Amino acid sequence: MLKFYCLPWSRASGVFWLLEELGRPYQIELVDTRSPGGVPESYRAIQPNKKVPAIDHDGTVVTERAAICIYLADAFPEARLAPAIGDKRRAAYLTRLVYCDSVFDPAVAARAQGLEYTGNSFSFGLFEDMVANLEKLLAAEPYAVGDSFTAADTQLASGIHFTMNILNVLPKLPVFEQYLARATDRPAYRSYQAKEAELARQVTPIQFRR
């Protein structure tokens, strides 16, 4: 059994999309991190900071989005969402996946909070450098890793969509909009969106932030 611990319209969204891409059955465990009473202390046995997402695959617990994506794509290779070990594209795939968590997300968060700092103050570097890097990458390649959709795209595209179209922090560059159009034009993406919207109706009040 594959259990998915999540909250709709949160940092778990990209993993939600990935699960639909895998096409395998999974059980949703709603974790309302925004409830007035907070998350039950027992959830720390799954996620030590009581955050989402997390998964439990037949007793194996995985937390942190990049780790979850790497684990799932490798556990279900028939979905063809990750270059195999030994494939020369594997290095770029792992780099892009981890980049979403270690550079993109914190750089956007710092910008959204109005944090001013120099490039060597934090490990994730400057927001402007992150934007320039992604613009260069997506101008040269149709997807996060060359010409094929991978698990890295579920994270990069969901992150770009939220921070550009909802949070309004990432600039609306044509290259980003074109990438989103390509990456989200998939049955699994539409299925994930419908399921997430339905799950959102179970959470009150409806005030979703990442």
Write out pLDDT tens, residues 119-152: 899 999 999 999 999 999 999 999 999 999 999 9
Mean pLDDT of the chain: 95
What is the pLDDT averaged over residues 156-178? Answer: 98
The pairing of strands 2-6 and 54-57 is antiparallel
Domain ranges of the chain: 2-80+189-200, 90-186
2-80+189-200 has CATH 3.40.30.10 classification = yes
pLDDT of residue 204: 56
Given pLDDT bands bounded at 50, 70 and 90, which one contains residue 154? very high
pLDDT at residue 205 greater than cutoff 50: no
Contact 83, 150 (CB under 8 A): yes
Peptide bond between residue 142 and the one before it cis (omega within 30 degrees of 0) = no
**Looking at residue 112, what is its pLDDT?**
97
Mean per-residue pLDDT for 16-34? 96
Looking at the domain covering 90-186, what would its CATH class be? mainly alpha
> In the predicted model, is pLDDT for residue 15 greater than 90?
yes
In this prediction, residues 28-38 reach a mean pLDDT of 89
Q: What percent of the chain has pLDDT over 70?
A: 97
Given this model, what pLDDT does residue 37 score?
Answer: 83
- Is the bond leading into 171 cis (omega within 30 degrees of zero)? no
Structure tokens at 58: 């037949």
Strand partners, 62: 55
pLDDT of 74 strictly over 50: yes
Predicted pLDDT of residue 97: 98
Cα angle 111-172-163, degrees, rounded to a multiple of 5: 45
Q: For the chain, percent helix, then strand, then coil, each to nearest 5?
A: 50, 10, 40
At residue 2, does pLDDT exceed 70?
yes
Using the predicted structure, report yes or no on whether residue 210 has a pLDDT greater than 50.
no
